[in-house]
Amino acid sequence: MFEFVSSLPKEFWTSLVSGIVGAASAIMATWIAGWQTSRNLKLQLAHELKMKEDERISDLRHSLYMQMSEELTKLMHTFGSLASEGPEALTKSPMVTFLACASKIGLVGRQETVLKIRNVTDQCTSFLLIALPAVSPLLMLRSSIENITEHYNRSETEIARILAAMNAVTETVEAQPLVFAALQAKFDAYQATSKSFSDQRNKLWAEYRALEPAINKTIFEQLKLLSPLQIDALIAIRTELGLSSDSESLHALATESFAKWDAAYANMHRNFAEAERTVDQASR
Predicted pLDDT of residue 238: 79
Alpha carbon separation from 10 to 14, 15, 20, 208 (Å, rounded)? 6, 9, 16, 119
User: Is 108 within the bounds of a domain?
Assistant: yes
For the beta carbon of residue 54, count every other beta carbon within 10 angstroms. Answer: 10
CATH number assigned to the domain comprising residue 79: 1.20.1270
Per-residue pLDDT of the chain (284 residues; tens, 9 = 90+): 545 545 555 555 566 556 665 666 667 667 666 667 777 777 777 776 777 776 777 777 777 888 787 888 777 777 777 766 665 665 555 677 888 888 888 887 888 888 888 888 888 888 888 887 888 888 888 889 989 999 999 998 888 888 888 887 776 656 577 777 888 888 888 889 889 998 999 999 888 888 888 887 888 888 888 888 888 888 888 777 777 766 677 667 767 776 776 676 666 666 666 666 665 555 55
User: Is 31 within the bounds of a domain?
Assistant: no
Helix 93-108 / helix 111-170 crossing angle, nearest 10 deg: 170
Where would I find the H helices in 171-246? 177-240
Phi-psi sector, 242: left (phi>0), alpha (psi -120 to 50), beta: left
User: Is 229 within the bounds of a domain?
Assistant: yes
When computed from its CA atoms, the radius of gyration of the chain, rounded to whole angstroms, is: 41
Predicted pLDDT of residue 185: 87
Residues 218 and 165: beta-carbon distance below 8 Å: no
Residues 95 and 103: beta-carbon distance below 8 Å: no
User: Is 38 within the bounds of a domain?
Assistant: no
User: Is 17 within the bounds of a domain?
Assistant: no
Predicted pLDDT of residue 280: 58
Alpha carbon separation from 87 to 51, 101, 122, 132, 145 (Å, rounded)? 45, 21, 18, 7, 18
Q: Compute the distance between CA of residue 261 and CA of residue 253 in angstroms, rounded to an integer.
A: 12
Q: Compute the distance between CA of residue 105 and CA of residue 61 in angstroms, rounded to an integer.
A: 7
Predicted pLDDT of residue 148: 92
Predicted pLDDT of residue 166: 80
For 8, list phi and psi in degrees, rounded to 5: -70, 140
User: Is 238 within the bounds of a domain?
Assistant: yes
Alpha carbon separation from 54 to 49, 67, 69, 122, 182 (Å, rounded)? 8, 20, 22, 29, 85
User: Is 113 within the bounds of a domain?
Assistant: yes
Predicted pLDDT of residue 200: 92
Would you call 243 helix, strand, or coil by DSSP? coil
Would you call 7 helix, strand, or coil by DSSP? helix
Alpha carbon separation from 77 to 144, 213, 219, 258 (Å, rounded)? 26, 18, 12, 14
DSSP state of 8: S
Q: How many domains does the chain have?
A: 1
Domain residue limits at 236? 48-245
User: Is 262 within the bounds of a domain?
Assistant: no
